[in-house]
Amino acid sequence: MLENSALCYDLHSHSIASDGVLTPTELVARASKCGVDVLALTDHDGLSGVPEALLAAKNHDLKVVSGVEISVTWNKYLLHIVGLCVDHTNQILNEGLKKIRNTRTERAHEMARRLEAYGIPDVLEGVMKHANGEVISRSHFAYFLIEKGYAKDQKQVFKNFLVSNKPGYVATEWATLEETINWIRGAGGIAVIAHPARYKMTATKFRKLLAEFKLLGGASIEVLSSSHSFDESIKMSAYAQKFDLYASQGSDFHRPHTQYVELGRLPKMPVGCTPVWESPEWRV
Alpha helices (H) along 187-278: 203-215, 230-242
Q: How far is the CB of 19 from ligand AMP (least distance, A)?
A: 5
- Decide whether 158 or 282 has the Cβ nearer to ligand AMP: 158
Q: How far is the CB of 82 from Mn ion (least distance, A)?
A: 8
Contact residue for ligand AMP among 9, 74, 158, 206 (CB under 6 A): 158
Helix, strand or coil for residue 27? helix
**C-beta atoms surrounding 62 within 10 Å:** 25
**195 touches ligand AMP by CB under 6 A:** no
Q: Which residues contact 223 (CB under 8 A, 6 or more apart)?
A: 233, 236, 237, 240, 247, 248, 249, 269, 270, 273
CA-based radius of gyration for the chain: 18
Q: Where are the beta strands (DSSP E) in the chain?
A: 9-10, 38-41, 63-74, 77-84, 190-193, 220-225, 246-250
Contact residue for Mn ion among 10, 19, 37, 43 (CB under 5 A): 19
Helix, strand or coil for residue 262? coil
Query: x/- contact string, 99-138, with ligand AMP (CB under 6 A)?
Result: --------------------------------------xx
Number of helical (H) and strand (E) elements in the chain, helices listed first? 9, 7
**C-beta atoms surrounding 163 within 10 Å:** 12
Q: How far is the CB of 49 from Mn ion (least distance, A)?
A: 13
Contact residue for Mn ion among 37, 52, 222, 252 (CB under 5 A): 252
**227 touches ligand AMP by CB under 6 A:** no
| Partner whose binding site includes residue 228, from ligand AMP, Mn ion, none (CB under 5 to 8 Å by kind) | none
- Decide whether 71 or 248 has the Cβ nearer to ligand AMP: 71
Residue of closest CB approach to Mn ion: 80
Residues 38-57 that bind ligand AMP (CB under 6 A): 44
Where does this chain bind ligand AMP (CB under 6 A)?
19, 44, 71, 137-139, 154-155, 158, 254
Where does this chain bind Mn ion (CB under 5 A)?
19, 69, 80, 194, 252
